[in-house]
Amino acid sequence: MRYVKLQFGCLLVILYIMIAYLRAVKRGKTKTCMEYNLLMIMAPLAVIFDGITAWTVNHMDIVPSLVNRLAHLLFFLFMDFTIIITSRYMYDLLIGYDKTAKWKKVLLNLPGMISVLLTTVGIGGLHYIKGATTWYSMGFSVYICYGTLVLYYGTILYIVASRRRFLESGKILETLTCIGIAGVILAIQICFPEVLLTAIFPTILLLGIYIGSENPSIRQLEMRSDEMLNGFATLVENKDSNTGGHIKRTRAYVNLILEEMKDDRHYRDVMCKDYMENVSNAAPLHDIGKIATPDSILQKPGKLTDDEYKIMKEHAAEGGKIILQIFYNMDDAKFRQIAYEIARFHHEKYNGRGYPDGLVGEQIPLHARIMAIADVFDAVSQKRCYRDAMTLEDSFSIIEKGIGTDFDPNLAQIFLDHKDEVIKLMKQFQE
């Protein structure tokens, strides 16, 4: 027990986390995450082999050299896998994987695959040094493991730094805390190799991610927030009998545009998982201001008078006010701002002739420009009490003719370039 006390304590912590997580999954209180599931396998294995190597390196008189090197190789590999998996987890947490871009996962895994190969090839050069209280190992494989950590976590730090304006503060703090602790342990291990704190590294990562993101209580809060947003959207649907599927379709169109924006160089610095989720969740609230619009105007079968149209246009500004009032005490300030701007500015036009503020071009928030395209297309392609639906050809033509006047040229072109997907989504959410 002299050399494995730390590892034994770490395993107890990991065991507690695994039991709590698996119980929550069994009760259906949390969704499973592949990367986190893999981490729950790799983390305890890394700690176990850390303990085994701590014992074997101090008993080389009775442990065969081949067994000692094999134990060290497995330890290094499990540590490499832990670094790779947590980096993938943090990348997905911050940016999100594009479902169609599998090359991104391959690219993220490639340095790790090289690291695994080099670690395996270099294990023969491992040598052992006698310290004041314990033996410890050094060599090419050790340095490769250190390099893997610096490379992967350095990349994640760059992502946080470059996109911090669009990331939730909680996720930034969680990511920086995990990487910070890993950096401290790495620095101590390099400066004082005899200390042997490596078992703490996978344990802290598993615990930190559990507390920050995978805790069932957090998952439940996220589910309740989604239910609340859907409830507000339903209020609008029930008031405006003309828009039964409008909210679902417009959200689907917004999501389509967002997904395609991820690979567009114009929006590369903007697109991250938090931003996309916030815009997607705020989209159903774009017409929430119609709650304040009289039913006699909202459901009028004929053409509105000038005075009635003036009242109808007030729903954009009213929607912004309602968002600020409802979510005044909400911790997520970024979502509140995005929802406010979508509700208030989704009727602004690119040439400045929209309402309520007459904003021009990129003065209009990006998410409001996205919403404008989805909103107009659905409005003209569906039947309303005051007119019939336009044909699909005419509906797409409305968007095309509005490029540079009503709509952002780049965003409108993205929408038009994916007509087949738009039609498929429209049929999927048809009233």
Q: Please state, in angstroms and rounded to a whole number, the distance separating the CA atoms of residues 2 and 329.
A: 52
DSSP H or E stretch at residue 209: helix 200-209
Q: Please state, in angstroms and rounded to a whole number, the distance separating the CA atoms of residues 45 and 115.
A: 18
Q: Please state, in angstroms and rounded to a whole number, the distance separating the CA atoms of residues 177 and 324.
A: 31
* Sequence-ordered list of residues with C-beta below 8 angstroms from that of 369, at least 6 positions apart, any chain: 350, 407, 408, 411
Task: Examine residue 356 and say whether the peptide bond preceding it is cis (omega within 30 degrees of 0).
Answer: yes
Determine whether 104 is an active site residue. no
Instruction: Classify burial at 408, counting beta carbons within 10 Å of its beta carbon; exposed 0-12, middle 13-18, buried 19 or more.
Output: buried
CB crowding 32-71: b at 16 or more within 10 Å, else e: ebebbebbbebbbbbbbbbbbbbbbbbeeeeeeeeebbbb
The catalytically annotated residue of 171, 248, 262, 290 is: 290
Spatial contact of 75 and 52, defined as CB atoms under 8 Å apart: yes
Taking the CA atoms of 68, 73, 74 and 76 in sequence, report the sign of the dihedral they define.
positive
List active site positions.
290
